Structure 1
Amino acid sequence: MGANDFITLFFLVAAVLIFFQLRSVLGRRTGHEKPPVDPFAARQANRDVSGQEEKVVQLPRREPVDEEQKWVEIDAVAPAGSELNQGLRDLVRADPSFRPKEFMTGARMAYEMIVMAFADGDRKSLRNLLSKEVYEGFEAAISEREARGEVVKSTFVGIHKSDFVHASVKDHEEQITVKIVSQLISATYDRNNTLIDGDAEAVAEVIDVWTFARDVRSKDPNWKLIATESEQ
């Protein structure tokens, strides 16, 4: 077996290991979900009557652990005694299955899905991931872009950093705000295929502050994006 064969075998084994690690995170269940679905991914049970797949923001959740471990996990992502730390503690008391690190994993995946769906003009995916108000804003921007005959070509490079900013529970609604620093290649072309914005090769840093929410009383584990803000 030559050197190239060893390299090929190495990457094949690595791909298989990554696949099973992702399944171990995305496949967890609390016992209260709708028919089986992977977080952020559509399966047969999520098809609508037209046979098309639907996408949802089902942030990873797991069964409650002992009380002390919950607080240790919160202290690991938010300074003890801070407003954020207290907010996360209030959220865990209202929703014992909530786990900060698993939520952030799901939020990062949702972020990429939403960014790319907006660039592609994928209204169906956005409708299932966004609140009504946020969807209307995104849809209006897509419609204006289409009316001008513009096309956006984007490549999602990755997420450099993500942090919790705020967490709270009010009127039975849990809300979590996260700050995400990502890298994106994006270029906008007019109807004549002339570049009018962005760069088809340069990687740009994008900083967004997004807020996700769900009704803590609901058996539906899906979260939706309810507010967006960009930083320069």
Structure 2
Amino acid sequence: MFYVILFAMVAAFLALRLYAVLGKRTGHEQPLPKPAEERVGLPPVPRTIDVTPEVRDSGARAIETGAESGLRAVIAADPSFDVAQFVEGSKSAYRMILEAFWKGDEETLGWLVEDDVREGFTAAIAERREAGHVLENRLVAIERALITEALVEGKTARITVRFDADIASVTRDADGNLIAGSMSDAVETHDSWTFARKLRSDDPNWKLVETDDA
């Protein structure tokens, strides 16, 4: 009975972590800094199908020019979508997915990725276990997360993010002996991940549907 309760608590925790992790405002987040024109009291521009949605990002540029029209289509289809929050959420998802893969945590991957991607991760985890290898990787820093593509296909939104990150990678054998890598030397990595979500559905979660090298 204790384990049943424990697993239920873990599942509930993961569900809460995933809820609104990408692009969905719940009303409980810290408010984002308002643009200058909003601070001086100009009336807000309504986001409707008849008005071209405005795409904004604060701080370092987080959107490639070619992705802006696609993001406007996403906002038109789902006015609650928030670009800045999506970028921050994508960083969290990137870290969570990588750490789950490195640990061989297939259950967590099941919450975060679609079936096709999960099968690839699962196959790589199984191969690693068969070889008796253990990863001790660490995501040192995400230098940049850049939206490179966005589109709406039917009722589904797809957004591609390029991640430039520093990762320290170590592989050990079953006895703990070092096979490859170093925790003191981080390696620059460049990944292109695509997230998808059915718009206006009851499920607010975005899932990883495609991975590639950037």
Q: TM-score, normalised by structure 1?
A: 0.71
Residue identity in the other structure for 2:25: R
Provide the rounded CA distance (Å) in 2 between the counterparts of 1:112 and 1:226. Answer: 16
Q: Cα distance 1:48–1:138, how it changes in 2: closer, same or farther (>3 A)? A: farther
Is 1:53 the counterpart of 2:53? The answer is no
Write the deviation string for residues 92-131 of structure 1: whole angstroms up to 9, x where unpaired. 0001101111100000011001111111111111110000
> 1:200/1:146 Cα in 2 relative to 1: closer, same or farther (>3 Å)?
same
Instruction: Look up the SS of the partner of 2:205 in the other structure.
Output: coil
* Separation in 2, partners of 1:77, 1:200: 29
More displaced 10-residue stretch of structure 1: 110-119 or 50-59: 50-59
Aligned-partner Cα distance in 2 for 1:186–1:59: 27
Which residue of structure 1 aligns with residue 92 of structure 2? 109
The answer to whether 1:184 aligns with 2:147 is no
Moved more, 140-149 or 214-223: 214-223
Q: CA deviation at 1:196?
A: 2.0
Distance in 2, Cα, partners of 1:52 & 1:107:
24
Look up the equivalent residue of 1:175 and give its one-letter code: R
SS in 2 for 1:199: strand
Letter in 1 for 2:157: E
| Higher normalized contact order (CA 8 Å, seq sep 6+, divided by chain length) | 2
Q: Which residue of 1 aligns with 2:32?
A: none
Q: Which residue of the partner structure matches residue 67 of structure 1?
A: 46
Shift of 1:70: 4.9
Which range is displaced more, 154-163 or 97-106?
154-163
Within the candidate set 144, 150, 159, 2:127 is matched to 144
Equivalent residue of 1:53, what SS?
A: helix
Deviations 1:44-100 (CA, angstroms, capped at 9, x unpaired):
xxx989425133543142279743795151697546xx4311101001000110111
Rounded to whole Å, the distance in 1 between the matches of 2:152 and 2:55 is: 20
Say what the alpha-carbon RMSD is for the aligned residues.
2.6
For the Cα contact (< 8 Å) 1:74–1:89, is it kept in 2? no
Name the CA shift for 1:53/1:218 in 2 (closer, same or farther; >3 Å). same
Structure 2, unpaired ranges of 5+: 28-43
User: Which sections of structure 1, spanning at least 5 residues, go unmatched?
Assistant: 1-46
CA displacement, residues 177-218 of structure 1 (integer Å, 9 cap, x when unaligned): 000111111101122323222223211111110000011131
The residue type equivalent to 1:67 in the other structure is P
2:92 and 2:141 mapped to 1: Cα distance? 10
Q: 1:166 aligns with which of 149, 166, 173?
A: 149
Decide whether the 8 Å contact of 1:149 with 1:191 is kept in 2: yes
User: Aligned letter for 1:206?
Assistant: T
Could you state the TM-score of these two structures normalised by the residue count of structure 2?
Answer: 0.77
* From 31, 56, 69, the counterpart of 1:86: 69
Q: In the alignment, is the contact (CA less than 8 A) between 2:55 and 2:68 conserved in 1?
A: no
CA distance in 2, matches of 1:118, 1:145: 11
User: Following superposition, which runs of at least 4 residues in structure 1 exceed 6 angstroms of deviation?
Assistant: none
| Identical positions, percent | 34
